[in-house]
């Protein structure tokens, strides 16, 4: 009887070990994005679907966040497997810039791909009379969540233009959608949003109230320097926008960390480029994703899995 009991215990132990092994075999992929009204979120949803449908045993999740800075801190802490981020935030994270929202060098970060450029889009209600950066003095402006990638962009542009937040009548640190609602309700004059062209929040605003899209001159962008570049918001991007508007752009990246296996990072990279049609269907900003440009401006080391894919397709020799 005792032998039989011992066999039962042994069998139970084996079953528990087997079950634990099976559970471990499940791949959990948390995709870190941004606010639900931005561009990162719909692209993240598409990426989550792609991974969930094509990586065997993968369980995926999309997490809405305050975007770049929060995403990078979460990756360093192992609380996500892949994240969207702005290039300037990524550069500051790798350098460990405390003023940019990082406690120290985020040395676990590993690159997956450069994806599309973010355009700094400063939009004011026509009623506010704001048409230039200088015209924002004494007015109210939302610059995104504190220490977010968008807010870091705002700081850089204001510094290069010789302006400070103190020059404004009021500063708000709000997500895109909330900023737009305040402008609609005449409680805010303008919003600065760093996102792909055609971002849903500004489209919504432009269809609700007449707007002015405020220019950022090439001279200001030259003062900021890399990773910012001069760009154009084409006429007609938003309702009522009759002319091209010069502005600044900075690249977006997909990033992982060194705790993600080489095989998983390889699959995540490969599936991104093999499913660009699904990414574009989720947001037009994905039209700019190009495997030949996937390493452009990458400010951190590549994940070995991503490196393996780029060697496979000839992007890396």
Distance in angstroms (rounded) separating the CA atoms of residues 116 and 231: 13
* pTM (2 d.p.): 0.76
- In this prediction, the residues of the chain whose per-residue pLDDT falls under 50 are 1-2, 4-24
Q: Using CA atoms, how far apart are residues 253 and 267, in angstroms rounded to an integer?
A: 17
Q: What DSSP character marks residue 287?
A: G
Residue 219's CB is within 10 A of a number of other CB atoms, namely 10
User: What is the number of alpha carbons within 13 Å of residue 78 lying toward its C-beta?
Assistant: 4
Which residues is 117 bridged to in the sheet?
Answer: 251
Phi-psi region of 183 (alpha: psi -120 to 50; beta: other; left: phi over 0): alpha
Q: Six-digit token pair at 311?
A: 């060697």
CB 85 within 8 A of CB 72: yes
**Residues 126-131: contacts with CB under 8 Å, at least 24 apart:** 126/209, 126/210, 126/211, 126/212, 126/240, 127/186, 127/209, 127/210, 128/189, 128/190, 128/212, 130/189, 130/190, 130/212, 130/214, 131/212, 131/214
The reported pLDDT for the residue numbered 61 is 97
**pLDDT for position 7:** 45
The pLDDT value recorded for residue 154 is 95
Do residues 46 and 281 make contact, with C-beta atoms less than 8 angstroms apart?
yes
Report whether the peptide linkage leading into residue 88 is cis, meaning its omega lies within 30 degrees of zero: no
Residue with tokens 């962009």: 153
The token pair at 315 is 């992007």
DSSP 291: G
CA dihedral sign, ordered 5, 7, 8, 12 = positive
pLDDT at position 147 is: 75
């Amino acid at each position: 009887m005792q032998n039989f009991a011992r066999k039962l215990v042994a069998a139970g132990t084996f079953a528990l070990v087997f079950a634990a092994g099976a559970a471990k075999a499940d791949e959990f992929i948390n995709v870190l994005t941004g606010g639900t009204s931005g561009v990162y979120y719909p692209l993240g949803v598409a990426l989550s679907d792609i991974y969930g449908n094509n990586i065997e045993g993968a369980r995926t999740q999309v997490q809405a966040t305050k975007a770049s800075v929060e995403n990078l801190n979460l990756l360093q802490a192992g609380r996500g497997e892949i994240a969207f981020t702005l290039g300037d935030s990524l550069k500051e994270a790798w350098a460990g810039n405390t003023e940019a929202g990082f406690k120290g060098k985020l040395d676990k970060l590993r690159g997956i791909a450069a994806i599309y450029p973010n355009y700094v889009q400063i939009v004011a209600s026509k009623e506010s009379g704001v048409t230039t950066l200088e015209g924002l003095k004494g007015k109210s402006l939302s610059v995104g969540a504190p220490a977010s990638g968008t807010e870091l962009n705002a700081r850089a542009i204001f510094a290069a233009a010789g302006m400070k937040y103190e020059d404004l009548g009021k500063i708000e640190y709000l997500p895109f959608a909330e900023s737009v609602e305040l402008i609609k309700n005449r409680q805010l004059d303008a919003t600065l949003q760093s996102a792909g062209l055609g971002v849903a929040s500004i489209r919504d605003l432009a269809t609700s109230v007449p707007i002015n899209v405020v220019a950022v001159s090439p001279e200001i962008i030259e003062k900021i320097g890399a990773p910012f570049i001069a760009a154009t918001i084409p006429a007609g991007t938003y309702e009522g926008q009759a002319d091209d508007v010069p502005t600044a752009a900075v690249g977006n990246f997909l990033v992982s960390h060194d705790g993600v296996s080489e095989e998983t990072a390889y699959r995540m990279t490969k599936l991104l480029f093999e499913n660009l049609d699904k990414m574009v269907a989720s947001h037009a900003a994905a039209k700019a994703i190009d495997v030949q440009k996937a390493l452009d401006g990458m400010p951190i080391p590549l994940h070995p899995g991503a490196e393996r894919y780029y060697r496979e397709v000839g992007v890396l020799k």
